[in-house]
Structure 1
């Protein structure tokens, strides 16, 4: 969902903002649909390789673009005061970004040598860390609080920004098959669809895309919900449940070896504390405890954030009210500085309001939960009192 929202902005940037946010969602759904008809990761391993290559190139371009903006943006950056709520919201976002654990079983079953899954998953997370960490550091150092949901709109070299958008769009189109594939296969098994390509597969996966598009049209501003999902359900599936299931599986295996009896009943809680080795037990319990505390706090913070977030009318409602979507402001660059109005490539020392309006997106002065009166005043002075600053 978050990827769809960012790809919509990409399309709008290429078309000069002439296409509505809500219309582009439908276009993206139509583009993504054919890719989802592929059966399983074994049929599109090449897509994963291409997606990794495009992401690697995008990371390099982000670092290059931020380095170009460094000289102007870094001296005028502004950092918001620390809020514990933002910390837990970011935890939800991080868990959402690495929450693809539901696809692991189908990936392991499709591997030529499933016993190598541990090595492949460790390598995958190591590669992700090498990609994520430099981008986070560069964005933090160069842009400060002008950095919003994504670092890409903060890159002020238009050519580099759009090249990154294209690369990430290709990545999202290719990897969406992996994210949706487990759910698609579960539904197909439930309805009795054949394993080979059939009209049932087309019907199931088309219905899934329609459902995704409906959610995107209903919740155009997905950021707060992303934090809620990341802090609640994905904390369970990515942190708590894997440790819990491993403990019970490990206890069952150790109990079989210790008793010499095969086909024992499922392991119980007492078996976990009896048969699991103490270092493993302590490690898993610590991880689960951190997950419960962090996930609970992230969920609470996300719910509190949702309660104060301005409601955005669903696309199918605003269409009949003849109102434009808030994202249809036509500009797609988050300019730097405390008021988000500094142009990295503006040669004159005198600010030009018309130039700023033609390049910079409308500032979100309350993005980090600390509304800055000066930022709001400057925003209204440039974009008008009716703008959503």
Structure 2
């Protein structure tokens, strides 16, 4: 006699139930989240959590900053109109992937009770529930590399900005390599805080400083417009520059590794969709005007960052200060998933203790070592954006949502609980066609674009943009940075046009920057 499970035999049904039990037991053993009995009939509510509006500002603070100052360079690399289209498409894509990543975490909250308590690794848990514990471990490794790379980029950017400020105000050129050490030492105590809800104020301030920086960039560009715009030029088109630009775009809008951690600290995680819509709307209003002004005013005289191209020194340095504050405050979020991952590996207690200080200090030392080894801001940003950031922000959110949504619908239709992850055939069977087409298209775009951007960034780092490590250069009698105290990248074909008619204000030229 046939059972009711789609014509399977009683023995097959029992085997399925055994596999489901074994998987659920393994998942419970591997889960890094607290467990206790909870009422699953009610939506999750965290009375001490963040509301959706503050969470949206939190997301903006997590994303906007380092990428903002590099975006105009990406627009120049990609010939403006194609670049503007690419930037707009990327914002739409990552808005959707942030949305489905939020839905994925809500599925976990509604299905498994242990996720309604403090969870150190929400993103890897999404991967584990979607495709199995092994995938969860791979996600952890990917997030570690992503967050580590972002931390290095932000540390480099903050140190470079501080170096420019010191040169502008005091005419002293402090070695960039030394400033990296100083900034890291000052930042370390902030990284000892536990989770985003402990320092939400810091990232909201970071968002406000970025908004002010956008206004100042536009004002400074307008002042330079009459002098620089008539003589601006565009670099020759190369396919490599297009791919590098894509890496910058992905870095600028991708920060999804921290999103589940932020969402987990909300009062109502189901309202994360509102936070996403608010955050990316604000980011579009920030990014697009800055991109347009960079192209219209400066052309190929732009380099890694738009900040040194602003020729009114006091405006330039106000922007420097604002972006530096953003980088330092945002690093409190960037370090958090990495810190918690390593703490979980070493079984560090969740309360403040000496083990936390030692582990997080060790991570900071590792970040500083890489920053001193690869003291190049632009290509490193492109490398992070094209590789692991593409995985965590574009590809994996769609993949995990397809699997979790199919799993949810399968359990609803069959009336089962605790089943193992679905297979690829079930993903196609239980998801609607529109969702499948959108997610698969985004995955393909991420694979092609991210792969090309990663390859181009590696070529750039190892050839045209290679800089000697800080700890090697002194032994070769070479400085890791130039000795000029000029901090303004002047405009024009030869990068020697100043709005003050004083070439002494111009930093050393880099005429082959885009070649």
Q: Is TM > 0.5 for Structure 1 vs Structure 2?
A: yes
* 1: CA distance, partners of 2:423 / 2:397: 17
| Cα contact 2:304–2:377 (8 A) shared by 1 | no
SS of 2:476's equivalent?
coil
Indicate the residue corresponding to 2:215 in structure 1: 60
1:158-169 equivalences in 2 (<5 Å)? 158-169=313-324
Asked whether 1:121 is paired with 2:292, we answer: no
| Cα contact 2:180–2:372 (8 A) shared by 1 | yes
Indicate the residue corresponding to 1:137 in structure 2: 292
Q: Structure 1 pair 65/296, CA: closer, same or farther in 2 (3 Å)?
A: same
Indicate the residue corresponding to 2:436 in structure 1: 281
Deviation at 1:9, TM superposition (A): 2.6
SS of 1:125's equivalent?
helix
Asked whether 1:331 is paired with 2:482, we answer: no
Indicate the residue corresponding to 2:451 in structure 1: 296
| Cα contact 2:402–2:436 (8 A) shared by 1 | yes
SS of 2:498's equivalent?
coil
* 1: CA distance, partners of 2:371 / 2:386: 20
| Cα contact 2:175–2:481 (8 A) shared by 1 | no
Deviation at 1:94, TM superposition (A): 1.5
Indicate the residue corresponding to 1:372 in structure 2: none
* 1: CA distance, partners of 2:192 / 2:203: 16
Deviation at 1:190, TM superposition (A): 1.7
Q: Structure 1 pair 18/99, CA: closer, same or farther in 2 (3 Å)?
A: same
| Cα contact 2:173–2:484 (8 A) shared by 1 | no
Q: Which one is further off, 57-66 or 248-257? A: 248-257
Deviation at 1:224, TM superposition (A): 1.9
Aligned length: 360
1:177-188 equivalences in 2 (<5 Å)? 177-188=332-343
Indicate the residue corresponding to 1:30 in structure 2: 185
Gaps in structure 1 of 5+ consecutive residues: 347-354, 370-389
Indicate the residue corresponding to 1:261 in structure 2: 416
Gaps in structure 2 of 5+ consecutive residues: 1-151
* 2: CA distance, partners of 1:215 / 1:228: 14
1:72-91 equivalences in 2 (<5 Å)? 72-91=227-246
| Cα contact 1:243–1:288 (8 A) shared by 2 | yes
Deviation at 1:86, TM superposition (A): 0.9
Deviation at 1:99, TM superposition (A): 2.5
| Cα contact 2:192–2:360 (8 A) shared by 1 | yes
| Cα contact 1:12–1:330 (8 A) shared by 2 | no
* 2: CA distance, partners of 1:313 / 1:228: 18
* 2: CA distance, partners of 1:303 / 1:129: 29
Indicate the residue corresponding to 1:193 in structure 2: 348
| Cα contact 2:158–2:328 (8 A) shared by 1 | no
| Cα contact 1:88–1:301 (8 A) shared by 2 | yes
Asked whether 1:10 is paired with 2:165, we answer: no
Asked whether 1:361 is paired with 2:502, we answer: no
Deviation at 1:186, TM superposition (A): 1.2
Q: Structure 1 pair 22/306, CA: closer, same or farther in 2 (3 Å)?
A: closer
Deviation at 1:310, TM superposition (A): 4.9
Deviations 1:188-247 (A, max 9, x none): 122122222111111111111111111111111132232222112211111111111111
Indicate the residue corresponding to 2:105 in structure 1: none
* 2: CA distance, partners of 1:24 / 1:232: 28
Deviations 1:328-365 (A, max 9, x none): 4322211000111000122xxxxxxxx42x31111111
Q: Structure 1 pair 133/161, CA: closer, same or farther in 2 (3 Å)?
A: same
Indicate the residue corresponding to 1:313 in structure 2: 468
Asked whether 1:104 is paired with 2:255, we answer: no
Deviations 1:299-333 (A, max 9, x none): 23223333432532211112333421234432221
TM norm structure 2: 0.68
* 2: CA distance, partners of 1:44 / 1:254: 37
| Cα contact 1:72–1:344 (8 A) shared by 2 | yes
* 2: CA distance, partners of 1:186 / 1:112: 24
SS of 1:319's equivalent?
helix
| Cα contact 1:51–1:170 (8 A) shared by 2 | yes
Deviation at 1:61, TM superposition (A): 0.4
SS of 2:419's equivalent?
coil
Q: Structure 1 pair 338/235, CA: closer, same or farther in 2 (3 Å)?
A: same
* 2: CA distance, partners of 1:321 / 1:273: 59
* 1: CA distance, partners of 2:482 / 2:355: 36
Indicate the residue corresponding to 1:244 in structure 2: 399
| Cα contact 1:225–1:302 (8 A) shared by 2 | yes
Find the partner of 2:357 among 198, 202, 220: 202
| Cα contact 1:66–1:155 (8 A) shared by 2 | yes
